[in-house]
Chains A and B, each alone.
Chain A
Amino acid sequence: MLFELREVGLDRGGRAVLDSFSVAIPEGATAIVGPSGAGKSTLLRLLNRLADPDRGEIFYRGRPLGDYEPLALRREVSLVPQLPALLEGTVESNLRYAAELAGEELDVEETLARAGLDPSFAGRDVAKLSVGEQQRAMLARALAQRPAVLLLDEPTSALDHAARDAVEATLARLRRESDLSLVLVSHDPEQARRLGDRVVEMPA
């Protein structure tokens, strides 16, 4: 089992964002759907320890998540957040930063192509990208770390159909060519079915 959550609870602002939430997420691709505010983004942040639960337990590959060194865990279980937030500079400098942190070699063109971006994006200033382009640059940056698990929070929410299809094709290919696992939040049930081997519904 990739992840296992047992009776997980987390409070924010005096109320429970997650309460007694249990789920098992095997290797492969899992899509998470649920209404806005259900706690989908919060769940992903728990999985790479950007936050810790107030109650319950989370296991990653059978071991408690707290046993993993957080920095190493985050390079292995890479989160692409819902809102793009790149570092100042060019797209390439963002990719290099991520690759260096993970100690990985970087092929800029190849990494950009995997996220559906053409090579001309390498030198572009991130402050001058559209939101959809930033979203793909964020995906490329995560891929530059060659993670074992990708946590994707609404990765195509700002993309048009063509760009969305390109990203979905990349994700499908990555899964075929490597044993990358995906945990993907989507508000689109169609996309959840297209990309997910299984779909987890989060209650409101």
Chain B
Amino acid sequence: MSTTSIHVELWQVAASLVLVALAAAISRWQRADLERDIVVATGRSIVQLTLVGYAIKLIFEADTIWLVLALLAVMVFFGAVTARHRADKVPSSFGPLLIALALAGASTLGLVVALGIFDPTPRYLVPVGGMVIGNAMTASAVALNRLGDEMADARARIEATLALGATAREAAAPTVWRALRSGMIALVDSTKTTGLIFFPGTMVGMLLAGASPTDAVRLQLILLYTLLGSVSISALVATLLAYRNFFTPAAQLREL
């Protein structure tokens, strides 16, 4: 892969804020009541990305694997904290989410390194790890959000199935299956339409940075497949660990 670099001036970033102003104006004009959120989101994006930019710079310069691992661990932790808010109907969802994100990150990064696709250096592990963990977070949050809704809807049917002497796992199986599916479907669908309806971010970034289209496409494919792996693992692990929290050890539905 060719190494390319472009330089972006600060005034260019400032100029792009015109589009934020446009979004806020539309929101105000149509009373969508999102102006505040838009301002907060913009402010947070500037602060967070700048801080992460410096952190990555430090990590690249230090060039040790330990700092990379520490950064990924922090991402997993905050990913689980964030996903927990989306899964508020699932009792004690933090543990399952933490394990799901850690496993998804470790296994997919471990595999791409073991297969020789990427070198185990900060330059690859940091951006790929960030994408892997971010997508794993979204998938497991969606899956557990759905699990919470489905478990509430299916309470009567699950209890009637337990009444036949089914295990908690058997009684929850259709619900777990639907939750897992909804966690994975978004990425599967966008993988299907990729290139037709939208250009994925990595490819856009590489083209902007001056890489050849062939390189951009190849790297994008690798990343899409890596993300499919991590999204499946995180949704699977999160749902399989979390559904148990709806049941007591005696296979009774917990009162929530």
Enumerate chain A interface residues (CB-CB to B < 8 A). 12, 48-52, 70-75, 78-79, 81, 83-88, 97-98, 101-102, 138, 141-142, 145
Q: How many A-B residue pairs have CB under 8 A?
A: 59
Enumerate chain B interface residues (CB-CB to A < 8 A). 156-157, 159-167, 170, 174, 250-253, 255
Within 8 Å CB of B253, what residues of A? 50
Main secondary structure of the interface of A (DSSP, over half): mixed
> From residue B42, how far is it (CB to closest CB) to chain A in Å?
44
> From residue A150, how far is it (CB to closest CB) to chain B in Å?
11
Within 8 Å CB of B170, what residues of A? 101
Within 8 Å CB of A88, what residues of B? 174
A101-B166 in contact (CB<8A)? yes
Within 8 Å CB of B161, what residues of A? 87
> From residue B109, how far is it (CB to closest CB) to chain A in Å?
39
Also in contact, A81 and B164, with CB within 8 A (given A49-B252, A51-B252, A52-B250): no
B164 interface neighbour in A49, A52, A83, A98, Cβ under 8 Å = A98
Within 8 Å CB of B251, what residues of A? 70-71
> From residue B35, how far is it (CB to closest CB) to chain A in Å?
41
CB-defined A-B contacts under 8 Å, sample of 25 = A48-B163, A50-B163, A50-B252, A70-B251, A71-B165, A71-B167, A71-B251, A72-B165, A74-B162, A74-B163, A74-B165, A75-B165, A78-B163, A79-B163, A81-B159, A81-B163, A83-B156, A85-B156, A85-B159, A87-B157, A87-B174, A101-B164, A101-B170, A138-B160, A141-B164
A97-B164 in contact (CB<8A)? yes
A101-B165 in contact (CB<8A)? yes
Within 8 Å CB of B160, what residues of A? 81, 84-86, 138
